[in-house]
A and B are shown apart, each in its own frame.
Chain A
Amino acid sequence: GQQLNQSPQSMFIQEGEDVSMNCTSSSIFNTWLWYKQDPGEGPVLLIALYKAGELTSNGRLTAQFGITRKDSFLNISASIPSDVGIYFCAGPGLTSNTGKLIFGQGTTLQVKP
């Protein structure tokens, strides 16, 4: 079945540094979503990408939909302590663009003040 692989699995960085994480798949996705999850909370949607090659920003966050439609990356610039959390990439399964979402295993980000 479809799977999403995220890397790195975890990151420990200094406040102010830039962060880059990515998500790859062996199959094509038509939509890429990036979520952030704080402990004990539900995932919060950060950025949605709908077109191959699309580059979208949301404040200090920038994400790109890979041209092959098999990957996506998320960059965070000038990290701050509240960026701490788990970042998930997700995409809809093959059967429907409005159906189930498949999630990666997550990238855990820790920021040292």
Chain B
Amino acid sequence: DAGVTQSPTHLIKTRGQQVTLRCSPKSGHDTVSWYQQALGQGPQFIFQYYEEEERQRGNFPDRFSGHQFPNYSSELNVNALLLGDSALYLCASSSITDTQYFGPGTRLTVL
């Protein structure tokens, strides 16, 4: 039974570019949450998707957007990248009966 998977594992972009990160949830999970983790910090909630809609959002600008597909997989898009967007981006999946399990993350470096 595959857990949460994310791609790519690493990514290097330059300021002003756009990036798309991908996540496949754990089998049986229908909800996907995205978190940003800066070095030395705990993960910070970006948003959560359920039934292909954004259900809850943290304190992140509109440059951060997402999408959930009918198979429950999800994408995180970040536009107009800033140096401060460099971080580990974590995807977590869950269901009404199961708590959040995290993927290995995507390390984004913005130069």
Contacts and interface: CB of A to CB of B under 8 A. Distances in A.
A, B: real partners: yes
A41 B88 CA distance: 9
Interface in B14-31: 31
A66 interface: no
Contacts of A35: 102
Given A42-B102, A44-B102, A101 B90 contact: no
A31 interface: yes
B105 A96 contact: no
A74 interface: no
A95 B102 CA distance: 21
Given A95-B56, A99-B55, A106 B42 contact: yes
Interface string A54-66: 0000000000000
Interface residues of B, number: 27
B58 interface: yes
Band of interface residues on A: 20 to 34
B111 to A, nearest CB: 19
Given A88-B42, A105-B42, A45 B99 contact: yes
24 contacts: A35-B102, A40-B88, A40-B107, A41-B104, A42-B4, A42-B104, A43-B43, A45-B100, A45-B101, A45-B102, A88-B42, A90-B42, A93-B45, A95-B56, A96-B56, A98-B31, A99-B56, A100-B48, A100-B56, A101-B92, A103-B43, A105-B41, A105-B42, A106-B41
Interface of A: 31, 33, 35, 40-45, 48, 88, 90, 93, 95-96, 98-106
